[in-house]
Structure formats: structure tokens, C-alpha cells
A = this chain, B = another copy of it.
Amino acid sequence: MPHKHLFRDDYSEGAHPRLLEALSKTNTQQEPGYGADSFTHEAEQLIIKKIKQPQARVHFVAGGTLANLTSLSAISKPYESVILTENGHPNVHEAGAVEATGHKLYVVAGVGGKLTPDAIQKVVAEHTDEHMVVPRTAYISQATEMGTVYSKKELQALSKVCRQHKLYLYVDGARIANAIMAEDADHDIDTIAELSDMFFIGGTKNGALFGEAIVIVNPNLQDKFRYHLKQRGALMAKTRAISVQFLEMFKDNLYFDNAKHANQMAQKLAKGIAECGYEFLTVSPTNQIFPILPDSIIEQLQKKYGFYVWVPNVSITGKTSTSAIRLVTSWATSQDAVNEFLSDLKSLGKT
């Protein structure tokens, strides 16, 4: 029996209706393949303008893991490694995709899911000769896999330590819009572009049917990137299928509005859950929240709602067996679904 509402992830629905309309409207126009089409050119220009980096280049690919593995392998020499936290997506949820391209991931402890300048410096200091890899790239995700957001100051500090040690700063932006549209966010997407060497703008998790936009800010990393894309199977014949969507999302504020809605729904959930007296695994201002609930209540909720138990057996009070669950909202999450969940939770708490 299917769940009434899914809070399992931000890709449970298709695409924002405007994107499907854009695909329909442009459908019969004949265009060259593999990204040489006019839509792709136009979408690249829009993004470049938005991020205020005229020298940047944009490439559209089908998914986030493909973006990460292609990008990180393209900018790393065989003996170069990537520094990231234990929660970093390539470390846990990409089935060894980056290592499969031959590169070591060097895992360090994050603070609230976030990489710190100190951790980077320590890794650099330890890698001194040819018996070891050369750390070359610091990978961060903004927002992180734990729903947290790097502040502008934190990004600046990371960028500074990277540039000091000639490391690249790579930002996985699968949920970049959620970070930027967080209520207390202190920076826009141009800040991320300015402080990083390469990042991707996520479509899949923010209302696109599929697709991400890889942005290469650092000109030294732009040469022959299409060869890397082709070799990894990431150069799409109908790149237009992605770029038409980005065109639509960036021609006004749709891309950011999608995230704003998702964030609002999650924060409303968080507020309601907190009011019921529950704690959270992390303080997340974005569309992923990690409340800690009694297992008995989780069990009841699971009958009606789809979501993941993220960390089983998290005991805060010690009284009862509790677990952290993950609730994710999207551009398509309805107020009603949120209200219904909170109302059910309240009822369950009473019993």
C-alpha cells in the first residue's frame, strides 16, 4: 500500500510544470546535438550573468553523481586526491564513483557536516612526498547532506586556505538553491562562484525533470572538458533537454522560488515538530530536517508517510528508544501534506 505523502526526498515528483511547457514549446525546433544548440548557449549565458563570472563555462549533464565523477576526475592528476567530510556524497552515496576513476578520497571529520579550514591544512601538512597522494581539491556540498549551510565567512575561509595551498574548491550544488534561499542565508550564488573553482547547480533536486549545470569558474580547468564529459558518457546528444529547463528556471526567479517553497515547507515541519518537544540531529535551515522521534511514533507515521530512518537508536533522553528520521520537502510539497503530518504527530504524541 503506497504512502499518502512522501517526505523521502526532493525528487519524488516529475518537473515543475513550467519546465514541461518549455520542453513542449521548443520541441520541434531543429538544433545541432551535443550542446551546440541555441538553447544551451542561451542557458549558459543566463547562468554566467547570474553568477557574475564572464569567463566561466557551463556544461549540462544528466545527474549529480555523473557531475561529481566527471568533474573531480577531470581536474585531478592521477596521483591527486580529494578532501571531504565523512558525510560527503562521493564518500558514502556514490558507490565508489570517484575512486572508480582512479582517485583517492581523503576523509576528514566534519563539523555539523561541514569541512573546516583546519582539517584541510592538517591534510596538506601531512602529505609531504611521493609515497602519498597530493591533496588537490576540497569537496564541499552547499547545502550539506545534513541540511546545514556554510556561511559566507566559512566559505571565504575555505576558499582562502585552498588558494593558499593551491587546492581547488569544488562545490556540490545539488541543493545550492536551498542553501541560498535559507532564511538566514548571507550570500547569493555569485558568492559561491567567486569563492570556488568549480561547482554545479542542481536541477534534479530542485524541480527539474533531470539535469545539473556544471560551472567551471577557474579558466585553468576549462580546457578539453568536453572530452572528459564524452569519455564518462556525460555528453548528451539532446543536451537541449536539460538546457531548455535551466533556461526556463533562470530566465526569472523560478529556480530560487522552487527552493524557497521547499525550505518553507521543511521549516514549517521543523517548527511544528519542535513544538511537540522533539530534538533534531542538526540545525537545518534548508529542505532536509532530521528530527529525533520515539521509535513507536516513527512506526505509526510510516504507515501513512514515506521517509527514511536516518540514524537508528539515537538516544537523547535515554527514556525511550529514539531514532533520527529524515524529512525532505520539495518545490511540490503541499501545505496540506505538512499540516496533515504535524496534526498526526501531535495526536500520536498524546497517546
Contacts and interface: CB of A to CB of B under 8 A. Distances in A.
Contact of A32 (B12, B67, B204, B228): B12
Interface in A192-233: 204-205, 209-210, 224, 226-233
Contacts of A240: 14
A336 interface: no
A262 interface: no
Interface in A82-108: 92-97, 99-105, 107
B5 A209 contact: no
Contacts of A28: 13-14, 332
A55 interface: no
Report which residue of A3, A104, A134 has the largest number of chain B beta carbons within 10 angstroms of its beta carbon: A104
A328 B350 CA distance: 67
Contacts of A234: 66, 233
A8 interface: yes
Interface stretch (A18-26, A42-50, A150-158, A278-286): A18-26
Given A13-B27, A100-B102, A236 B224 contact: no
Interface string A52-63: 000000000011
A238 B33 contact: no
A211 to B, nearest CB: 9
Nearest to A97: B231
Contact of A237 (B30, B94, B204): B204
B20 A232 contact: no
A148 interface: no
A92 B126 CA distance: 10
Interface residues of A, number: 79
A233 B63 contact: yes
The oligomer's copy count stands at 4
For the complex, would chain A's binding face be called helix, strand, loop or mixed by DSSP majority?
loop
A11 interface: yes
Given A92-B132, A131-B230, A224-B79, A63 B237 contact: yes
A69 interface: yes
B133 A96 contact: yes
Contact of A210 (B15, B79, B134, B238): B238
B237 A11 contact: yes
Contact of A233 (B3, B33, B34, B66): B66
B131 A209 contact: no
Interface stretch (A70-78, A267-275, A319-327): A70-78
Given A24-B20, A209-B241, A306-B32, A231 B107 contact: no
Given A12-B30, A95-B132, A130-B229, 15 more contacts: A3-B30, A5-B30, A12-B33, A13-B29, A13-B31, A14-B241, A20-B27, A79-B95, A81-B96, A92-B131, A99-B99, A100-B103, A204-B236, A204-B237, A233-B233
11 contacts: A8-B33, A65-B235, A66-B233, A68-B233, A69-B232, A77-B224, A78-B96, A93-B132, A95-B230, A134-B224, A204-B236
Closest 6 CB pairs of A and B: A66-B233, A14-B27, A79-B227, A95-B230, A96-B104, A62-B62
Interface of A: 3, 5-6, 8-9, 11-15, 17, 20, 23-24, 26-34, 62-70, 73-74, 77-79, 81, 92-97, 99-105, 107, 130-134, 204-205, 209-210, 224, 226-238, 240-241, 306, 332
